[in-house]
Structure 1
Amino acid sequence: MPLAVPPSALAHTAPVSAVSRQSSVDSNLLPSLGDVSSQSLSPAAERRLGDRIMRSILRDPDIIDDPLVLEYIASVWTSLLAAARHRGEIGPDLEGVYAWRPFLVRERSVNAFALPGGYIGVHLGLLSMTRTPDELASVLAHEMSHVTQRHIARMISQSKQTSWVGLASMILGVLAASRAPQAAQAMIMGGQGMAIQGQLNFSRDMEREADRVGFGVLTDAGYSPGGMAQMFEQLQQASRLNDDGSYPYLRSHPLTTERIGEARARMGSQAWNAAIAPQADDAQTLLQMRHGLMAARARVLMDTRSISLQPLVRPPVLPDSATPVERLARQYMALLAATRLRDRGEVERTLAQARKEAEALPRSIQAEARRLLTLAEVDAGVETGRAAQAQATLQQALANPSSGLQSRGRPEIMALARTTLSLPDSRAEPGALQEVVNALQPHLSNQPEDAAAWTYLSSAWLRLNQPLRAVRAEAEASAATGDLQGAIDRVDAARKRFTQPTSSEVIELSVLDSRVTRWRQTMRDDSRDDL
């Protein structure tokens, strides 16, 4: 699903029926499924298109960076990628070309979508409503299959008039719709979004192919064969009970009776039984716990207004039949909501209750529960003005192998940077700041697109009295969010400031010059409305 509008945008857009959606694509114009040779848009060109679109949308405030949710989504995504490679769905022509990168959208609506070049957007509303990792994996496997089968390229290749500018305009309008529907609609129309939406709605044949290939990827990755059928049935039932436009996934992926029947048929009787009563081994319980807590986290993050957070702090009591994982997830959600509300009393109460619930889990998975609760405690300390206490808690946990924390994990690295940099200058010792630098630099060498990490590194260098290094990190942060001109402006300002650089500063400036050359070339490429 390359594009779907949230409910507020749908209110201004004529609904597209399944019949009109199918007729919007003349199947005679499509190459036969699986025939790559007849596609005019190469994988490299599609990736360039995807990169351009991402540079246009990354600065939108609804594209969010939550290290823990992204870590979980990435773990599911990585397992599906491995299965797709093993099955031969990802060949050499796609392997090193596409981004294969999921990202998060702060939206309550249930949706996920693929963009050109292997970028996959996941709405927090989707994660929050899925009950199992298998259901989430089924959606990601389906979206991945749209990418691996080159459906997006085929749709774009049909129209010689489709431009990346128009596509980016449409997507920006979609993301803005929940905040300002009228302005968003103007942006969508200005970007010729109505036509583009029609061009990117997949045909029924493509949907069936994504179902079939996605099912194989899902099961080969070790997820329940019933995950896809269960997700389809849950979406259909939920939308019938509450058809308020909260399920844009169904508008771009209409659940015909045929598709649901095929999903059920693929399960088989034994797979259905396994899906209803999965083996409760430690690995399955661990996966379910991580999913349950991240779904709870998504419920808090997708709407951080006080009016939405207050009910989450004191949610309805669970029935006696609730599992330990469900009870822990409920307290974790309350803890995160109390943190966002900066309610110290509720933070302490819910943290104590969550720890008590974690003790009821199998001993072999308690370490991961402790890890997530410790990171939540650290975050709460910073949010409620107790950064020094949060830093001490984190340092103690990192030094304790039984805490479950991973010193090289991105959530831990970001927590270390945040707690240290939240301290007043008088409390942040050079040694602690250098520790932050030492953690961030190797991380960024592996993930140079991590804008938040670059921002933290810039702050650390500035407080260590390394202004030029701080400028470079700040410029890299701007570039990572798609603001190439902002990155160039920061370097130009540094050039004017450091007119008589030291020998070490000369080296740093030469690196910046090289980066500016690359950024300028990218901007020139983006200014051309071609691939």
Structure 2
Amino acid sequence: MNAAPLRGSKEFVATGKTELPRHIAEATIAARPHRRPTWGPLALSFALLFPAAPALTPAAQAQNDLPALGDSVSGEFGVAAERQLGDRIMAEIRRDPLYHDDPLLGDYLQSLWQPLLGAARARGELSNELEDRFAWQAFLVRDRTVNAFALPGGYVGVHLGLIATTGSRDELASVLAHELSHVTQRHIARSLAKSKQQSLVALASMIVGMLAASRSPEAANALMTGGQAVALQGQLNFSRDMEREADRIGFGVLEQAGFSPAGMASMFERLQQTSRLNDSGAYPYLRTHPLTSERIGEARARSNSGSSSAKAAGLGTRSAFEHAVMQARARVRMDPRPDAWRAWLRPPDVAPQQPAERLLAEATRAHAALELRDWPTAETALARAEQLAKGDSRASRGLAFVRTEAALARGDVQQAETALAPWRGDGSRASELLAARVGLAHPAASPALKRTAEELQTWVSMQAADTQAWELLAQAWERLGQPLRAVRAQAEARYATGDLQGAMDRLRAAQKLAREPGRGDFIEASVVDARLKQLEAEWRRRVREEMGG
């Protein structure tokens, strides 16, 4: 089997003052083959590296508070260690081409994620320590498979294929609520304590088996024989218990956040139906989150017994049109092949009957045509989509951003300015970064370019982890004849991705640039020197951690 390596496995050994169990690290390294992973294997390997916890007792299930984790979990895999492990994983993920930093889809994801976090906080699911120490970030993965996964430290990944499959924002929110509950219940930490009962050979074989399962379930089954099959079955049994716990708590978070209680049941039913019709390995979510008739039945029962007042108020039913616009964007961007884009240009066999379905079809054609640089088709489809979305401000906003992107792609800066104008300055990341792209399209002598640099500088002062903003700022300073500032912005972009060595290299390049004749900018050079000292100190600290103190 040509399985994929777990890149950076050596980093999993020591995290801060806490060293992970040696057999976990050795098992990971022992399982390292020769090719770089896709996202499915990465997520699945973590699902298996951290086996699930046993089921809760009926008494514990009856309580509203979190199950007691016990001192053993905190001692063996504390909150700080889990966050550090998650940060290391995310540093690898952010440098991978499959990591998809799309501001418009990212804003939409945040519009679901933040209410869920608020609901978990209100329900008491987040302890003060977890809220302060974990990242609580949801991110996108450019993959057409239907999947979502939780990682250590409060990170949740969402495949574009999942967004493209969901029929409503409530269904998508139900998946996020489920994954959020995996994190708030510290399933990874609880599982790590349990994993000490497994042998090194069992852990290694299961990790390799799950890497294979992402490509070929048959190959995985061939690897899992004898005693290893017994160990795997134990893992799956625990996983079912953990999934039921995440279902129960996730449903409460979903309803508290104001989403439709029916979202979780309808999502389960959609996954079950579509996977039966197309069982081609496109649903890795069902391998790591196996559906059973019991789970589906419980979701239906919870939905039927949900708050009648919430249903009457229509909570969680915001903008089916907005979801259609985002679903269309995910459909086209999840698969970068031109043949896939051309397929979306073909009319469906049956014309959509509902307005939201028609909007989805037209917005999908518009996005596909833009990718193919088919301007006439893109204009026709986008105009139809805008007419269908008329009166829905959130859907119209999304389409206005698409029109702005289309104008920029054609080099029509004036039309881009006009399309963005009603939504410029709304405080969203999508608006800020799109406005920056419009500003960069102006000539170097234009006041718009200087204004763009100043606005981006203000933005990154508040959003220092925004890689894309730093990259745009570097372009702006370069065009304005400020190479020292441009190189420093490039360094900050590297740092935001987790590439500490690359950031230091760029800052050292800035120091050399500052010493060249005619480059005298004492203030900027001082900032570069101070920042380099900070990063070098952080690098030395990381090295000490890697060496175990």
Pick the TM interval, shorter chain.
0.7 to 0.9
Name the structure 1 match of 2:123.
87
Match of 1:510 among 513, 519, 529: 529
1:358 lines up with 2:389 in the alignment: yes
1:517 Cα deviation after fit? 2.5
1:145 aligned partner: 181
Equivalent position amino acid for 1:134 in 2? D
Q: Hey, what's the Cα distance between the residues in 1 that align with 2:439 and 2:199?
A: 48
TM-aligned CA deviation for residue 497 of structure 1: 2.5
- What is the CA-CA distance between 1:448 and the residue it aligns to? 1.3
CA separation of 1:24 and 1:485: change in aligned 2, threshold 3 A? closer
Aligned partners of 1:381 and 1:390 also within 8 Å: yes
CA contact (8 A) 2:52 2:241 kept: no
- 1:232 has 2:268 as partner: yes
Describe the shift of the 1:316–1:306 C-alpha distance in structure 2 as closer, same or farther (beyond 3 A).
same
CA distance in 1, matches of 2:41, 2:546: 30
Q: 2:399 aligns with which of 370, 373, 394?
A: 373
Q: Corresponding residue for 1:487?
A: 503
Matched, 1:393 2:418: yes
What are the Cα deviations for residues 361-383 of structure 1, in whole angstroms up to 9, with x where unaligned?
xx3x2x33332222111111222
Alignment correspondent of 2:112: 76
Q: Does 1:38 align with 2:89?
A: no
Q: Distance in 2 between matches of 1:269 and 1:102?
A: 29
Structure-1-length-normalised TM-score: 0.80
Q: CA separation in 2, counterparts of 1:343 and 1:320?
A: 23
Q: CA deviation at 1:238?
A: 1.1
Query: Shift in Å at residue 198 of structure 1?
Result: 9.5
| Separation of aligned partners in 1, 2:199 and 2:189 | 11
Structure 2 residue 360 is matched with structure 1 residue 329: yes
Return the letter of the residue paired with 2:68. Answer: G
1:421 maps to: 440
Secondary structure of 1:61's match?
coil
Counterpart of 2:158 in 1: which secondary structure? Answer: strand
Q: Per-residue CA shift, 1:450-508, capped at 9, x if unaligned?
A: 11111000111111121111111100111112221111111112222222743323332
Q: Which residue of 1 aligns with 2:488?
A: 472
Inter-partner Cα distance in structure 1 for 2:539 and 2:482: 26
**Partner of residue 244 from structure 1, selected from 280, 285, 294:** 280
3-state DSSP of counterpart to 1:121: strand
**Structure 2 gap ranges (5+):** 1-5, 7-36, 61-66, 221-228
The verdict on how the C-alpha distance between 1:526 and 1:131 changes in structure 2, with shifts beyond 3 A counting, is farther
1:210 counterpart = 2:246: yes
How far 1:100 moved relative to its partner?
A: 0.4
Structure 2 distance, partners of 1:200, 1:104, is 27
Q: Describe the shift of the 1:150–1:197 C-alpha distance in structure 2 as closer, same or farther (beyond 3 A).
A: farther
CA contact 1:468–1:508 (8 Å) conserved in 2: no
Provide the rounded CA distance (Å) in 2 between the counterparts of 1:284 and 1:209: 23
Change in 2 beyond 3 A, CA 1:198/1:303: farther
Between the two proteins, the alignment pairs up a number of residues equal to 479
The one-letter code sitting in structure 2 at the alignment partner of 1:378 is T
Query: How far 1:162 sits from its partner (Å)?
Result: 11
Corresponding residue of 1:265: 301
- In the alignment, is the contact (CA less than 8 A) between 1:472 and 1:512 conserved in 2? no
User: In structure 1, what is the equivalent of residue 14 of structure 2?
Assistant: none
SS of 1:102's equivalent in the other structure is strand
Report the alpha carbon displacement of residue 438 of structure 1 after superposing the two structures with TM: 2.3
CA contact (8 A) 1:475 1:487 kept: yes
> Is contact 1:292-1:325 (8 Å) kept?
yes
Do structure 1's residue 304 and structure 2's residue 311 form an aligned pair?
no
Query: Matches of 1:219 and 1:29 in 2, distance apart?
Result: 22
- Aligned partner of 2:83 in structure 1 is 47
Question: Partners of 1:10 and 1:457 in 2: how far apart?
Answer: 30
Aligned residue for 1:255, secondary structure, equals: coil
Tell me the equivalent position of 1:291: 323
Residue in structure 2 matched with residue 189 of structure 1 by the alignment:
none
Match of 2:346, as an amino acid? R
Letter in 2 for 1:392: E
Whole-angstrom distance in 2 between the partners of 1:162 and 1:140: 33
Distance, in Å, in 1 between the alignment partners of 2:408 and 2:475 is 17
- Give, as a single letter, the amino acid of the residue that structure 2 aligns with 1:266: R
RMSD: 3.8
Go from structure 1 to structure 2 and tell me whether the alpha carbon gap of 1:269 and 1:92 turns closer, same or farther (over 3 Å shift): closer
